[in-house]
A = this chain, B = another copy of it.
Amino acid sequence: MTALPGVKALVFDVFGTVVDWRTGVARELAAFLPAMGAGHLDPFALADAWRRRYQPAMEECRSGRRPFTRLDVLHRENLDAMLRENGVDLSRATAADLDHLNRAWHRLDPWPDVVLGLTRLKRRFFIAPLSNGNILLLANMAKRAGLPWDAILGAEPARAYKPQPEAYLNTADILGIAPDELCLVAAHNGDLAAARKAGLATAFVPRPTEHGEGQTIDLGPEQDWDVVAADFVDLAARTGAA
């Protein structure tokens, strides 16, 4: 039986689900740190430290304490704070150096199944990212990696950060479809739970090394999601898009 029969569009979480952010960010930190006299620091630990500031920064916007601010801006503030916290002397870098490093998030590599899987899924579905990344970040990533999105959606056009319901509902509205005609594909049970609460269909794809070898969370589905697939190629097969 073909999964997701009433679904017209698939939207994808990106950081972790589509791309391996941790390896990519650590790679760029490893290239940056020696010239800062900080070649002794562990780039993976710093990637994790940068990422730990992600949810609190968005929470300022979700709570209304700060107006909606695109992720490139939050990432840059978080980068400076994270480097300072780790004793890196920022005066040794130019603003252009730091802006370039900040765009490491624009230059992340997809997991190996992604391009083939998306190419197949695009035959049956409208496909787009539904990420907290901003439009430019997601578009630069797609251009570099060859991700065949039909449009670049997400927090910036929806003017809301996941897991706020508006992030999911405004995306369905932009696509001119009902929430249950839209399916979120994600490697994170929490994102899928919020999407389901908003009325979306849900697809889980595990990414068991997103956080490295010792990952303990999101190793498997925690609810009866509408589809569970091994990867994007398997998702295409299960939905009749292969």
Q: Are B151 and A126 in contact (CB-based, < 8 A)?
A: no
A220 proximity list for chain B (CB < 8 A): none
Cβ contact within 8 Å between A136 and B72: no
Chain B binder among A35-43, A152-160, A211-219: A152-160
Minimal Cβ-Cβ distance residue in B for A138: B151
Give Cα distance in the complex from A126 to B143, angstroms.
Answer: 9
Question: Contact: A72 with B151, CB < 8 Å?
Answer: no
Docked complex Cα distance between A128 and B140 (Å): 12
4 interchain residue pairs of minimum CB distance = A139-B151, A151-B152, A157-B157, A139-B150
Q: Is A64 an interface residue (CB 8 A)?
A: no
- What is the 8 Å Cβ interface bit string for chain A, positions 151-193, against chain B (1 contact, 0 not)? 1110011000000000000000011100000000000000000
Is A135 at the interface (CB under 8 A from chain B)?
Answer: yes
Report yes or no: B142 in contact with A150, Cβ–Cβ below 8 A: yes
Quick one: CB contact mask for A122-133 with B, threshold 8 Å, 1 for yes? Answer: 000010100000
- Give the shortest distance, in Å, between A177 (CB) and chain B (any CB): 9
CB-nearest residue of chain B relative to A176?
B136
Chain B, Cβ-Cβ closest to A157: B157
Smallest CB separation, A122 vs chain B (Å): 8
Bound-state CA distance A48–B152 (Å) is 32
